[in-house]
Chains A and B, each alone.
Chain A
Amino acid sequence: MRLPKFEYLEPTNVKEITSLLKKNADAILVAGGTDILPKMKQRIVTPKFVINVTKIEDLKKIEFGEKKGLILGSLATLDNISKSKQVIEKFTALAQAAGRIASPQLRNMGTIGGNISIESMCMYFNQSHEWRKGRPHLCFKLGGDRCFVAKGSKECLALFQADTPPALIALGATVTIVGSTGKEKIINIEDFYTQKSKKVNILKPTDFVKQIHIPTPPKGTKSCYLKMAQRAAIDYPIAGAAACITISGNKCKNAGIAVTSVGSGPLRLKEVEDILIGNSITDELIAKAADAAYEKIRPMPHFNISAWYKRKLIRVLVKRSIKQACI
């Protein structure tokens, strides 16, 4: 498949990005391109301008200091993140999530900024121009008037499937966004998401994700991300769960639990965290926590995976990820 025609822009610093975005309304950012280029080939997105941001070397860095924590430039590749010694040691869930995305080739190209910014997906949306041609109706996400996932739904029900967001939520990350005025804004990764499938994040067309920050976890903290997909490589998760647990004096002092591929965004499961915090972690408690996750989520059937199965799977993944974060 061919890319549509576009004008190509190549800024060399963040300021330039902001001004290019401001100047050109019909522009999109391309980082690794692994998500957006297929969409352009399918003519889901046909921008006039393509802004390649990968020339900004500074934003490819992965930096860590005990005090300042982990700073990931938005252009750090998934492969580098998954293989960084410090990320593996201190932010295990993130290394695991980044290392299970797509395939080695795609991880070499794909960036963390791109991963947190990908849109929700759906088999009625992620299709080519050829496929759509004879469709009598378009779905909400394509600007149409209905949702094919659930007849009668008043809104888009496409599925958010990125792998790193639940790990980032569990680890308590923040995102630095540069707005149209050039001003930086720091928000919790959780607040980055709208929980609306039609537009899953709060980014405005002129916004740019500069970096991601995760504070150094307190002593006694471990984390884990578990993903289940149809195949060992290439596939998006059927479900994914991240757990970050801090144990102090035999008790769970802090817990971060989040899941993906269950709805319109990555979901933090406060109910599950609350069950764990303040208690000593036993198999019974973990089972109770996993049941709470099962109760909380309300997935839709997607890509031949039923809601029934997804809920069962989340229960298992939450249980196992907590267990692994406690070993």
Chain B
Amino acid sequence: MDKYSIIGKRQVRTDSAVKATGAAKFAGDFLLPGMLVGKILRSPLPHAKILNIDTSKAMKLKGVRAVATGKDITDVPHGIMRVDPLPPILRDKYSLAKERVRFIGDEVAAVAAIDEDTAMEAMELIKVDYEELPAVFDIWESLKPGAIQIHENFPGNISTLTAFHHGDVDKAFAESDYILEDKYETQRTHHSYIEPHAVTAEFYASGEVTIWPSTQTPFYDKVCIAETIGVPVNKVRVIKPHVGGGFGGKGDVHSLFPISALLSRMSGKPVQISYTREEDIVSTTRRHPTIIEQKIGVKKDGRIMGFDSKILADGGAYQGISMVSIFVMAVFQHGPYKLPNYRCDARRVYTNKPYCGAQRGHGGIQPRFVIESMMDIIAENLNLDPLEIRRINGLHTGDITLNKFRIRSCGHIESIDRAAEDIGWKDKRKKLPEGKGVGLACNFFASGPGFSYFFTNPPSHSGVNITAEEDGTFLLYTGSSDIGQGSETALAMIAAEAIGLSSIDQLKVIAADTATTPMDLGTYGSRLTTIAGNAAKMAGTKIKDELVETAADMLEANKEDLESRDGRIYVKGNPEKGVTIREAVQTRFQIKRIPLTTVGYYNPPADTGDTSGFAEGKVSLSPTWSFGAHAAEVDVDKETGVVKVNKVSAAHDCGFAINPLAVEGQIEGCVSMTFGQATCEEFRTEKGWTMTNSFLDYKLPTSEDMPDVIPIIVESIDTEGPFGAKEASEGANIPTIPAITNAICDAIGFRVRDLPINPEKILRALEKKGGEK
């Protein structure tokens, strides 16, 4: 018999049928009686004072039901960096601008009208008087003394600053045999989820409002909406519908949510706002572009002694979640290699451009590109095997990093070995003809944040309730948000296994409704399988315990001797002697007449570092960590500079694959996203204008461009995650870029130091090299 009956098996997702048939409802699909269309008027200028907004003409247009401006909202800025003791100034944005606009696309006014054409016409009738202010688009301009201040509270236009120093870095460099200093740049990218932001809101005469947003974090939305429109938090109900992807882009509370509630209150009708793709690309968030100066000192054998990095990120006009972005960029450097001495100074700078936030692989992508490139250079210069230098520096199970991350399970070496084997490393590295090459890179990522940046005192990080129905089936209530990754299926599998059900069909998941489901912090930081999964496991185990007790009475057996599995509770070793779960539930109801509901919850352990405030980098960052390695094979066309990525062998240590089908899907999705960032995606602006505001100009790779992706699941069986599981949805995003650039270096000897790798860069490099010879 397999160890488990449900988990570890390839499970088709619970939402497959509704999505395949088109029946699934997304935020923009709701059709409520009398519903109005909402539209947002945006700033056409990169930086300006708002002198006056005249909405009278728009109000008079036939079919217009409400026009809102910054005057109609409270003075509480919306923003998700709320936890004590973070200063309130970190919330630096209003849903509708009050006095000033800071980028082209900033929200200035909003209209609700009977149809979209009328709403658009009304927007043209709103007259905004601006006093244009000087704008800065370049971080160096922004950092210059005397530069215009984008936010008064942030002198020097520095929005976030972190400095982490552990050990004696200078001494470590003095003791190193070899020191490499290098500099890299990464670009802005956009998540490009298939569903642009959308929301439907209905404000009722009772003073309550229900909102269906395309979101990753309904419990944050609830608070921000309540604060922005000035109603008590318990009057706001947020129900997450199906969501067409988020990748971190729907984890910030975007203006359209409070605005839709506001317009609905003003008009007395339900209001729907659906962003156009252009609006979405321009006004939401994107990955931070960075300039990273890095220094690594090693011993002759390749052991890392000292590590020093300086990160400079262009943040755009607002703060958003970026304090976390900068923080994680710094701290995620502590794996997968052991760093005995470490220093990182990171700064984020405001500019008058669309602002940056979280994107899948948050904080991992930029530094990892740098570190993994440099590991290869160091190996080359010390005549070491790139795999060997990664192995000898690798963390191991039981290690505690300098900043107190606990490594509870570690598939680092197995990932390297399996990725290398799959790509044919031994026969290919340095052995392929000129123009062809292979490269490898590793990763390290959090399985859910160990801290909350939003709530100071959340009831728990994740709550799950399970209730038994009279027929012996179950309802599972979770506040967590499935945004397409399949987390509801994973939770159902975990709970069903814990209870001992024979299939997940006996358990229905009710999720992400702030009025009926227990609080969960949201979908970000790859937290659901580990964190909500542990809560589901606890609630399921409690159900099992209760039912085993009943069954013990029914069978006149000791409960310690009973096992619950495949829908039955029976005596271990004597499966005939047992009852069905249904019988146990019904008997229990008959005897006790008490509802059977259990409460599961999970809070990350406090032993991974000290929790005295994350501004100093001392928080419990994650319960446990994922590892992995990607190996890529490329072909470079030496005449055109075109790089073709043939294959990516992507090994990922997810602890234990609850649903291997979903893990493979996540690995493939991860590779496609960062393959895009490596080879073609770049969010570009010019003097504040977004130039890449469509999918024609913002180059997402197409299915025809994709390399073969070979997902390789590594299982290190974690001690903290449910049934040994760790994250599987972001870590595998991280090593693709350096695996590709390392392969390019193997192919043509050229080191890519800025992204994306476009053919022109490669061709220039090839010509330069030819000239040198």
Binding site for B on A (CB under 8 A): 1-2, 5, 103, 123, 127-128, 130-131, 133-135, 228, 230-235, 303-306, 308-309, 312-313, 316
Contact = CB atoms under 8 A, between A and B. Distances in A.
Given A131-B278, A133-B44, A230 B697 contact: no
B684 A304 contact: yes
Interface string B736-773: 00000000000000000000001110010000000000
A231 B702 contact: yes
16 contacts: A1-B278, A123-B691, A123-B697, A133-B44, A134-B43, A134-B45, A134-B104, A135-B44, A230-B680, A232-B702, A233-B702, A233-B705, A234-B695, A303-B697, A309-B759, A312-B640
Given A131-B689, A304-B684, A309 B704 contact: no
Contacts of B760: 305-306, 308-309
A282 B37 CA distance: 66
Contacts of A305: 760
Given A230-B699, A232-B702, A1 B276 contact: yes
Interface string B114-129: 0011001000000000
Contacts of A131: 278, 689-690, 693
Contacts of B693: 127-128, 131
Per DSSP, are chain B's interface residues mostly helix, strand or loop, or mixed? loop
Contact of B696 (A5, A234, A316): A234
B278 A312 contact: no
Interface in B363-390: none
A128 B702 CA distance: 24
Nearest to B104: A134
Contacts of A233: 702, 704-705
10 pairs of A and B residues whose beta carbons are closest in the complex = A134-B44, A232-B704, A133-B44, A309-B760, A233-B702, A316-B639, A134-B45, A232-B705, A233-B704, A1-B276
Interface of B: 42-45, 104, 116-117, 120, 276, 278-279, 639-642, 680, 682, 684, 689-691, 693, 695-697, 699, 701-702, 704-705, 758-760, 763
A2 B44 contact: no
Given A2-B116, A309-B759, A309-B760, A235 B699 contact: yes
A2 B702 contact: no
Contacts of A308: 760
B639 to A, nearest CB: 5
A1 B758 CA distance: 31
Scoring B117, B278, B641, B690 by chain A CB atoms within 10 A of each residue's CB, the highest score goes to B278
Contacts of A2: 116-117, 120
Contact of A231 (B43, B639, B701): B701
Nearest to B689: A131
Contact of A228 (B120, B642, B695): B642
A235 B696 contact: yes
A1 to B, nearest CB: 5
Nearest to A121: B696
A232 B704 CA distance: 6
A230 B758 CA distance: 9
A1 B120 CA distance: 10
A316 to B, nearest CB: 5
A231 B700 CA distance: 8
Contact of A128 (B43, B278, B639, B758): B278
Nearest to B43: A134
A134 to B, nearest CB: 3
A303 B690 CA distance: 13
Scoring A130, A133, A304, A306 by chain B CB atoms within 10 A of each residue's CB, the highest score goes to A130
Contacts of B684: 304
Nearest to B676: A231
Contacts of A134: 43-45, 104
A231 B759 contact: no
Given A230-B680, A304-B684, A309 B42 contact: no
Contacts of A123: 691, 697
A231 B697 contact: no
A128 B265 CA distance: 31
Contacts of A128: 278, 693
B206 to A, nearest CB: 34
Given A134-B44, A316-B639, A234 B276 contact: no
A305 B42 CA distance: 30
A305 B696 CA distance: 15
A176 to B, nearest CB: 31
Nearest to B767: A312
A234 B702 contact: yes
Contacts of A231: 680, 699, 701-702, 704-705
